[in-house]
Amino acid sequence: MIDLEKRAHEKYGLPLAALDDSDAYTMLMEIVREKAQSLPDTEGKRRLYYISAEFLIGKLLTNNLINLGIYNEVKEQLYHAGHDLNKVEECEVEPSLGNGGLGRLAACFLDSIATLGLPGDGVGLNYHFGLFHQKFRDNQQTELPDEWLHEQGWLVDTGKSYTVPFGGFSVTSKLYDIDVLGYGRKTKNHLHLFDLTSVDESLVSADSIDFDKTALKKNLTLFLYPDDSDDQGRILRVYQEYFMVSNAAQLIIEEALERGSDLHDLDEYAVVQINDTHPTMVIPELIRLLVDEHGIDFDEAVSIVRKMVAYTNHTILAEALEKWPLSFLRTVSPRIADIIEKLDYAEKEKDADPAVAIIQNDIVHMAHIDIHYGFSINGVAALHTKILEESELKPFYKLYPEKFSNKTNGITFRRWIMGCNPALTSLLDETLGTEWHTTGDLSGLMEYKDDPEMLEKIGDAKEIAKRSMRAFIKQNRGIDIPRNAIVDVQIKRIHEYKRQQMLALYLIWKYLDIKNGNIPARPITVIFGGKAAPAYVIAQDIIHLILTLSQWIAADPDVSPYLQVIMVENYNVTAAEKLIPAADISEQISLASKEASGTSNMKLMLNGAVTLCTMDGANVEIADLVGPENIYTFGASSEEVVRLYAENAYRPHGLYLRPGTKLLVDFITNPKFMATGNPERLKRLHDDMANKDWFMALLDLEEYIQVKERMYVDYEDRSSWLKKSLVNTAMAGKFSSDRTIKQYNDEIWHLD
Ligand code: 26Q
C-alpha cells in the first residue's frame, strides 16, 4: 500500500537508500500527516473536551505508524533500503508540552479516547519553549529553553482564532491542532493547542529561562509553569490559565452551535474534564459567555455549566492545590472575579461551613469551585480517592457523596509496550495473539509462569531492551553499563515526597558496605531520571546529591566495578521509552498517602520490572494483583502517616541519631565529600534530613535497606525472578488506559 521508494523519488528525486535519516523522517512525517488529514473527525452529538495545562505526548512518528497499522510495513521497506526506523525517529524532536504524570496521563488518555472511537479532544497551550531543557553543570541542574518547535512538526494551522478579553486589554489567539489517531481506527480526534498571535520569542535568550514577565501580550505562551516565586510570576500563571480556558470555552460553544445546539442544551453537546485545577476558570468563563454573549439568564447558565464539567484531583499536597488571591483574578479578568464572587455567595447561602467556602479571606480555592459547580470529582487511584473522601475533602464528600468516584489511572499499551519494547511485544504476540493490543488482557501469560522456555524468552527480551538502554545511556551520559548489571530505576519528577533522597541514602549505605568488603553478586546500576522545578531548592539539592554521589562512586576503584549511579540528563518521554523496558527493579518509594497514583509504576510493571514500593497510590492495586511473592513492599502505612501528621508526632532527629542512620546522613557533610560538591547545597540537605524530614525518609529507611537487599539477593535466583517478571507483565492489564477511559465514559462522560 505504501511505496516509500516511489515517494522518495517524487519528493527528493532520489532512491530511498540515498536519503539521510533526516530526509527519511521528513518524508515519513508527511505521509502520516496526509493520511491523518484525510481521515474524518470522530462524530457524536456530545463531545468531550479534556482541558489540561500539560500534554506530555512524546514523539509521534512511531505511535502514529502503529495506530495507522503501517508500522511493520514501513519498517521493512526502510530496512530493505538500509535504514533503521529507530534511527530515523531519532530525528524527531519531542514536544515539550508537559512536566510529569498529569501531562503524560492526558496524552495516554487522548490515545485511548481515539482508540475507543469516542469523540473527544484535548485542549491546551502551545508553549514555545516548553517546561525547560535540563542540563547538568557542576553536578547541578541548569534550565534552558526547550526549543522543540520546528518547521517540520505535527502542528496543523487551523486558521481559527478568538479574542480573549483581559482586564484593560485583549489578545488574539491562534489555534493549532495535532491530529490524534486511534489504534486501528478510521476517524481522528484532535489535540487543540492555543497560541498567541502576538507572542514574541525574542523575549527569551538561548541560555536562560528568564524573560520579561510583564510583557503579557508577548509572553503568555512562552513557557509551561513559568517561575512563580514572585507575584509577577504567579499572576502570569493566572493569565495563562484564563487564556487557555477562554479559548476552550469559545471553541466549545462554537462547535456546539455548529452541531445544532441552541446553548440552552449545551450540556447535551459538550462535557469538559478539568485536569487538576489549572483549567478551573472554564466554569466562570462558560457562564460569562452564555450570559454576556448569548443572552442566557445567569441562573440558567449556572445550571447548564453544572451539568457539563467534571474535575479530576491529582494531589493531596497542600502546596499543589491552587489558591489565588481574588485580587489576581480581578486584575486578569474583572468579570470572572465578579462571577466567582457570585458563585461563592450562592454557596455560602446554602452552606455556612467555612471549610467548603470558595473564597476564604479573599483567597479563591480553585478546587472548591470545581466541586460545587461540577457534577463529578474523581481521584486517580483507589487509595487516593479514599483519602480524598475520608480526610482531605471530607466536608465536600459529606455534601455530595454522589459526585465522588475513583478512576484508577492507566497507560496506553500502544506506546508503553508495543512502541517501546518490540522484543517483549513480539513474544506476547507469538504467545497470546494480538487481541491484547486493545483488550489489554495479558493474563493468558500466567499459564506459562512455570515454563522454563517461556521464562528464558522473557529474560531474552529483557536483554535486548537492556542493550538499547545501554546505548542510550552512553549517548546521554557517556557512561558504560556492565552487561550483566541489575538495572534499578527511579524515574519521575524530583520531589521530596517521592523520596529520591531515601534512595540516595541507600546508595551511601551500599557504598560503605562494599567498602567494607561485601561485594555484591553482580554489578548494580541505579538510574535516576527527573527534573526539579527551578525554584524548588531542596529538589535541586537532591539532584546535586545524586550527581555528586554518582561522581564520587565512579571515582572509587574499590566500589565502581560493583555500584554505579547514573542520572539521565533531561529525562523525558523518549528517555522513559528506553529505560522502562530495560528495568529490573521499579522504585516506587513515595511516603504513603502522598503519591496520588503514579504511572511509571504501571509502565515498569507492564515491561516486567518488579516493584519495590510503599503502599501508596496505585502500588496498592499492583500489590493486590500480583500477590506478595511478586512485589516488595515496606514502610509506614498511609493511616500511620496521616496520623503522624495529624498529631504532629513525627520526630526525625531521634531517628537521625541512631548510629546506623547518622553515619549515612552525615556522609553528605563529610568534608571530603563536600569538597567535591557544593557545600551550601549539601549542608542544607543534610540539615533538612536530620531535623525536618517532612516526608519521613528516615522513618522508612531501615526497612527500605533491608527489603532492597533481599531483592538483590532474590534476583540471583534467575528462574524465580523471571517468574516474578512474567507475573507482573501478565497482571498489568488493569492498567491499560483503555480500561480507565471506558470507566470515565460509562460513569462520567456518557458519550454516544
Ligand atoms: C500548582 C500550583 C500552581 C501552579 C501549578 C501547580 C501544579 C503544577 C503541576 C500542580 C500540580 C502539577 C502536577 C501534578 C502531577 O503531575 N500529579 C501527578 O498526576 C499523576 C496522574 O494522575 C499521578 O499519577 C501522580 O501521582 C501525581 O503526582
DSSP string, 97-146: ---SHHHHHHHHHHHHHHHTT--EEEEEE--TT-S-EEEEETTEEEEE--
Q: How far is 630 from 610, CA to CA, in rounded Å?
A: 7
Give the list of residues 6+ apart from residue 271 with CB closer than 8 angstroms, or none: 46, 47, 48, 49, 308, 309, 310, 748, 749, 750, 751
Residue 492: active-site member: yes
Q: Which helix (H) or strand (E) holds 5?
A: helix 4-12
Q: Which helix (H) or strand (E) holds 148?
A: none
Q: How far is 577 from 104, CA to CA, in rounded Å?
A: 13
Cβ atoms of 700 and 622 closer than 8 Å: no
Say what percent of the chain tops pLDDT 90.
Answer: 98
Mean pLDDT of 735-739: 98
- Indicate if the pLDDT at residue 319 is higher than 90: no
Residue 483: active-site member: no
Could you tell which of 102, 324, 573, 603 is best to mutate to test the pocket of ligand 1, judged by most ligand atoms within 8 Å of the CB?
A: 102
Average pLDDT over the chain, rounded to an integer: 97
* Residue 576 identity: A
Pairing mode of beta strands 323-325, 363-365: antiparallel
Q: How far is 333 from 421, CA to CA, in rounded Å?
A: 48
Q: How far is 697 from 711, CA to CA, in rounded Å?
A: 19
pTM of the model: 0.98
Mean pLDDT of 95-122: 97
Q: How far is 654 from 473, CA to CA, in rounded Å?
A: 40
Phi, psi angle pair for 487, to nearest 5°: -110, 120
Could you tell which of 105, 315, 500 is best to mutate to test the pocket of ligand 1, judged by most ligand atoms within 8 Å of the CB?
A: 315
- Residue 307: pLDDT band with limits 50, 70, 90: very high
Q: How far is the CA of 128 from the centre of ligand 1 (A)?
A: 21
Q: How far is 623 from 633, CA to CA, in rounded Å?
A: 8
- Residue 25: pLDDT band with limits 50, 70, 90: very high
- Indicate if the pLDDT at residue 211 is higher than 90: yes
Cβ atoms of 156 and 38 closer than 8 Å: no
- Residue 318: pLDDT band with limits 50, 70, 90: confident
Residue 365: active-site member: no
Could you tell which of 52, 131, 238, 276 is best to mutate to test the pocket of ligand 1, judged by most ligand atoms within 8 Å of the CB?
A: 276
Say if residue 366 is exposed, middle or buried (CB neighbours under 10 Å; 0-12, 13-18, 19+). buried
Cβ atoms of 497 and 692 closer than 8 Å: no
Nearest to 629 by CA among 742, 723, 494: 723
- Indicate if the pLDDT at residue 151 is higher than 90: no
Q: Cell digits for 204?
A: 527569551
Mean pLDDT of 534-549: 97
Mean pLDDT of 153-165: 97
CA-409 nearest atom, ligand 1: 22
Mean pLDDT of 469-497: 98
Q: Which helix (H) or strand (E) holds 571?
A: none
Nearest to 331 by CA among 236, 223, 245: 236
Q: How far is 187 from 529, CA to CA, in rounded Å?
A: 36
Nearest to 724 by CA among 619, 635, 589, 625: 625
Cβ atoms of 559 and 517 closer than 8 Å: no
* Residue of 174, 368, 498, 531 marked catalytic: 498
- Indicate if the pLDDT at residue 272 is higher than 90: yes
Mean pLDDT of 83-110: 96
Q: How far is 214 from 220, CA to CA, in rounded Å?
A: 10
Mean pLDDT of 622-638: 98
Measure CA of the first residue to CA of the last residue in the chain; give whole Å. 33
Residue with cell 480553585: 366
- Residue 562: pLDDT band with limits 50, 70, 90: very high
Beta bridge mates, 177: 156, 192
- Indicate if the pLDDT at residue 306 is higher than 90: yes
Ligand 1 binding pocket, CB closer than 6 Å: 99-102, 105, 225, 237, 276, 314-315, 320, 322, 380, 409, 595-599, 617
Q: 648: helix, coil or strand?
A: coil
What's the pLDDT score for residue 752?
A: 79
- Residue 102: pLDDT band with limits 50, 70, 90: very high
Mean pLDDT of 192-218: 96
What's the pLDDT score for residue 595?
A: 98
Nearest to 154 by CA among 123, 177, 173: 177
- Residue 632: pLDDT band with limits 50, 70, 90: very high
- Indicate if the pLDDT at residue 320 is higher than 90: no
- Indicate if the pLDDT at residue 660 is higher than 90: yes
Say if residue 86 is exposed, middle or buried (CB neighbours under 10 Å; 0-12, 13-18, 19+). middle
Cα 474 to chain centroid distance, Å, stands at: 25
Q: Cell digits for 702?
A: 531501615
Phi, psi angle pair for 144, to nearest 5°: -120, 155
Residue 457: active-site member: no
Residue 742: active-site member: no
Give the list of residues 6+ apart from residue 719 with CB closer than 8 angstroms, or none: 452, 455
Residue 740: active-site member: no
Q: How far is the CA of 86 from the centre of ligand 1 (A)?
A: 31
What's the pLDDT score for residue 1?
A: 80
Pairing mode of beta strands 524-529, 363-365: unpaired
Residue with cell 503502599: 615
